[in-house]
Amino acid sequence: MKLCGHSVSPYVERILIALEMKGKAGDVVLTDVVGGFKSPEHLSHHPSGKIPFLLLDDGTSLSESQSIVEYLDAVVGGDSVTPADPMVAAKASRIIRVLDIYYTGAIGPMGKVAFGGTATDEEMADAKERALPEALRYLDFCIEGEHFAVGDSWSHADAAIMSQLYWFERLMPQFGVPGLEEYPQLSAYWENAKKTDIYQASKARADKSVAKFFGNKK
């Protein structure tokens, strides 16, 4: 199986982190987008022209990072990143929804600017003063442990958090967004997560991909 995309994307990294948590990092090969970015072949696998998508050995494909995580969790074996307890599993899914809906929506204006787009002063102010603090308060509310987001082992919620907060640390200071100190549960969790081998491996991949991406933009 091939994962088409680049680690500059937190959605690609979410999948790679989850595979490492499963002990199955070698089961999927990270590769460039087949056919070239937004080529007809790319669009045949992901009509929105985004990354990632998973290309299976039989030529079929699957798009959307969380769907890919759930599929791989079921088929590649190893440690499950879906908690066995129904309530813990639901809480892990809640964290992912908070990130994918509230958090990514909130940082949208800053992300656009960072990657060469534009946002109005009003959009930037609303993001920094209202939307992002609200999303972080919600995420802080959902985090239940200092070493694992929920439960007593890694889950796909941890993979989603790590991949997104990498970019929070990298981008938010340049926009005058304060750190996570106002969110005690999230802050304590994040400080521990950053020390783990899994996060450090993800950070190294992302750093390399970011350097290549922005180098190509010069």
Beta strands in the chain (DSSP E): 2-4, 29-31, 53-55, 61-63
Q: Is residue 115 part of a domain?
A: yes
Q: What proportion of the chain, given as a percentage, has pLDDT over 70?
A: 99
Q: pTM for the full model?
A: 0.95
Nearest alpha carbon to residue 76 among 57, 100, 90: 57
CATH number at residue 111: 1.20.1050.10
Q: Are 25 and 51 found together in one domain?
A: yes
* Low pLDDT (below 70) residues in the chain: 216-218
Q: How far apart are CA 24 and CA 64, in angstroms?
A: 20
Cα separation, 98 vs 110, whole angstroms: 18
Q: What pLDDT was estimated at residue 218?
A: 43
In a domain, 80, yes or no: no
Instruction: State the virtual CA torsion across 23, 64, 32, 155 in degrees, nearest 10.
Output: -20
What is the span of the domain harbouring residue 7? 2-75
**Distance of alpha carbon 16 from alpha carbon 30, whole angstroms:** 9
> Any idea what the CATH number is for the domain that residue 16 is in?
3.40.30.10
- Residue 213's pLDDT is 86
The pLDDT value recorded for residue 215 is 80
Do 58 and 114 belong together in one domain? no
70 and 163 both lie in a single domain: no
**Token pair for residue 52?**
């990632």
- Quick one: 10 and 45 in the same domain? yes
Count how many domains the chain has: 2
- One domain, residues 63 and 92: no
Q: Are residues 112 and 191 in the same domain?
A: yes
Tokens of 74: 């079921």
Q: Report the distance separating Cα 218 and Cα 213, nearest Å.
A: 9
Give residue 216's pLDDT.
60
- The answer to whether residues 135 and 30 belong to one domain is no
Question: Residue 215, Cβ neighbours under 10 Å: how many?
Answer: 8
Q: How many CB atoms lie within 10 A of CB 91?
A: 19
Between CA 115 and CA 49, with CA 68 as vertex, the angle to 5 degrees is 40
Residue 209 in any domain: the answer is yes
Bridge partner residues of 3 (DSSP)? 30, 54
Task: For residue 161, tell me if it sits in a domain.
Answer: yes
DSSP string, 5-29: S-TTSHHHHHHHHHHHHHT-GGGSE
Say if residue 136 is in the same domain as residue 99: yes
Q: What is the pLDDT of residue 217?
A: 54
